[in-house]
Amino acid sequence: MLPHDQTDSPHLSAHDLCFGYDSHDVIHEVSAAFRAGTVTAVAGPNGSGKSTFVELLAGVRNPRRGSVTRHGRLALVVQRPSTPDALPVTVHDVVAIGTWGRRGGRRRGDVAEAIDRVGLTGLEHRTFGELSGGQRQRALLAQGIVQRAEILLLDEPAAGLDAASRQRTRELLTEEAARGATIACVTHDEESIAAADHVIRLEAGRIVA
């Protein structure tokens, strides 16, 4: 059941989504609604279609059939960016990208605040290629939260993180939901699944109970 204080109109919804590669469908008639102020965990075994489902929600992929309805700005936090290690972009640069085109513009201190929230203060001028996998993931999370979007979609944001960083990531998602954002997060982390307001489980591209 959804909390009584949430609006009946979801920020994000999927209707009978189908998606496939060539003639092989990997998402089969998936429908779901995501409401403001909640965290939804998208769980399931490897190969179940979780990342593809989130990419459909984000508009990165187009469904073969069905539709996605979005109300508000959307931010997507990916797991493995295709950024060459030799590209001279710093942590500050990566996070600042999240402010480009943001409604209301960028305020002084926004980037530094986002970096601090993910525990990367002091690494602002480190290049992305110099970071560990977990640090890269935290920089991408900061890029997502600095956007202050109404909808925040994340693909395995806790991948490569230690226990303390995974806990901080869960806290950040709760904080973002508390400001009214709609959060959907692909995860294998059982603690994140337990902490979520709602859980969608996928198996072979279908929602299961």
pLDDT-derived band at 5 (thresholds 50, 70, 90) equals: very low
* Rounded Cα distance, 79 and 137, in Å: 7
Domain residue spans of the chain: 8-72+150-209, 85-148
Mean pLDDT of the chain: 88
Q: What is the pLDDT of residue 81?
A: 60
Q: What is the pLDDT of residue 118?
A: 94
| Nearest of 174, 54, 163 to residue 117 by alpha carbon | 174
- What number is the average pLDDT over the span 186-194? 92
Distance, C-alpha 33 to centroid of its chain: 16
Radius of gyration of the chain (CA): 17
3-state SS assignment for residue 29: strand
3-state SS assignment for residue 59: coil
**The residue count for the chain:** 209
| Residue 16 phi, psi (nearest 5) | 50, 50
Q: What is the pLDDT of residue 7?
A: 46
Q: What is the pLDDT of residue 6?
A: 44
Class of domain 8-72+150-209: alpha beta
Q: In Å, what is the CA distance from 175 to each residue of 12, 123, 124?
A: 19, 23, 23
29: exposed, middle or buried (C-beta count within 10 Å: 0-12, 13-18, 19+)? middle
Site of tokens 């539709």: 67
Q: In Å, what is the CA distance from 174 to each residue of 43, 114, 121, 177, 179?
A: 18, 15, 21, 5, 9
Question: What is the tens place of the pLDDT at every residue in 32-80?
Answer: 999 999 999 999 999 999 999 999 999 999 999 999 999 999 999 987 6
pTM of the complete model beyond 0.95: no
Non-local (6+) Cβ contacts of 125 within 8 A are 90, 91, 92
Helix axes of 133-145 and 163-178: crossing angle, nearest 10 degrees: 10
